[in-house]
């Protein structure tokens, strides 16, 4: 059994994909955002081409361009993980191989969605992708989006693969995460921003965060306090972050809110692609207020 170290760092951002006003990929904006996340927000890793990166609406060529752009911008000082899976195993294998050729440091593989495979099919799917590229793998368990989850016995089977080393846990089930972590040694990263501190306190090694785009420095301060044994300070920071986290994650897909929050700060973001719509004025105002209040606190 492996030790659950931090294979991709502690604070990772689930990075959005910036678009131009005409809806095309904003390559300079992508590089600028990557630098902002690493240099200003203190992210040790970036996950590109995931759900928050609007992967369902970007082409394979765009995914490669995003990855190459981020690697060139910050790949020497951050872990760059590429989302590389869909509900089609053969397509996912090609995405993983493309990511490896581009120089990705790891792969994020989500449970097949929509077609609802059996758990045996889930194992076969992940195994085929992990076999196809010589990169460490982070599994992504998110039943609210994929419909099916990864069962505990399935995790135990998958953990036998030498390249499957970690999990982005977006189930919200901290008890299950503890059981799987103890049984497999997989490194768990929290994928539910509302639970970041609770997950960390129960043995998860870090986060793959949407809100890190805007409050990454605060999240690092919270984790530093916890690591230093000052749990009261960590809890106090967590409480102060709650209004911002709620504004960013409580009213629809996080990418919509984050793009609005970044735009309000002059950081490249653009609007999401259909079928997602931009934040309305009320949400944008609430986000701006929550971030301003946090800055003044």
Residues belonging to the binding site for pyruvate are 52, 208
Single out the catalytic residue among 113, 168, 200, 259.
168
Alpha-carbon distance 208 to 8, whole Å?
A: 10
Look up tokens 């509900």; give the residue.
Answer: 87
Look up tokens 């989006």; give the residue.
Answer: 145
**DSSP per-residue codes, 223-239:** HHHHHTT-HHHHHHHHH
Which alpha helices (DSSP H) does 75-227 contain, by range? 89-102, 119-132, 143-146, 152-158, 174-184, 196-201, 212-227
Q: What are phi and psi of 177, to 5 degrees?
A: -60, -40
Is 168 part of the annotated catalytic residue set?
yes
CA 186, 189, 192, 194 torsion-angle sign: positive
Single out the catalytic residue among 140, 189, 200, 226.
140
Is 226 part of the annotated catalytic residue set?
no
Q: What are phi and psi of 288, to 5 degrees?
A: -60, -40
- Catalytic residue set: 140, 168
């Amino acid at each position: 059994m492996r030790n659950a170290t931090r294979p991709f760092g502690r604070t990772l951002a689930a990075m959005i994909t910036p678009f131009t006003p005409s809806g095309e990929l904003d390559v300079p904006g992508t590089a600028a955002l990557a630098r902002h996340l690493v240099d200003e927000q203190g992210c040790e890793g970036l996950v590109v081409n995931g759900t928050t990166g609007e992967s369902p609406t970007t082409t394979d060529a765009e995914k490669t361009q995003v990855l190459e752009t981020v690697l060139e911008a910050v790949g020497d000082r951050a872990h760059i993980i590429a989302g590389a899976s869909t509900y089609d195993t053969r397509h996912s294998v090609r995405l993983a191989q493309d990511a490896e050729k581009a120089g990705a440091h790891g792969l994020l593989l989500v449970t097949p969605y929509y077609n609802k495979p059996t758990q045996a099919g889930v194992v076969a799917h992940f195994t085929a992708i992990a076999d196809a590229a010589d990169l460490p793998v982070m599994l992504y368990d998110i039943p609210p989006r994929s419909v099916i989850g990864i069962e505990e016995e399935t995790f135990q089977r998958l953990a036998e693969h030498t390249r499957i080393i970690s999990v982005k846990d977006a189930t919200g089930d901290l008890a299950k995460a503890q059981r799987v972590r103890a049984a497999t040694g997989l490194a768990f990263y929290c994928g539910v921003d509302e639970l970041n501190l609770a997950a960390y306190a129960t043995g998860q090694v870090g986060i793959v965060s949407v809100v890190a785009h805007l409050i990454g420095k605060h999240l690092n301060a919270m984790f530093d306090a916890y690591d230093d044994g000052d749990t009261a300070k960590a809890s106090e920071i967590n409480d102060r972050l709650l209004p911002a986290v709620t504004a960013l994650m409580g009213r629809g897909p996080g990418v919509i809110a984050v793009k609005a929050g970044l735009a309000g700060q002059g950081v490249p973001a653009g609007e999401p692609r259909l079928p997602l719509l931009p934040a309305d004025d009320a949400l944008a105002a609430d986000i701006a207020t929550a971030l301003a209040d946090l800055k003044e606190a």
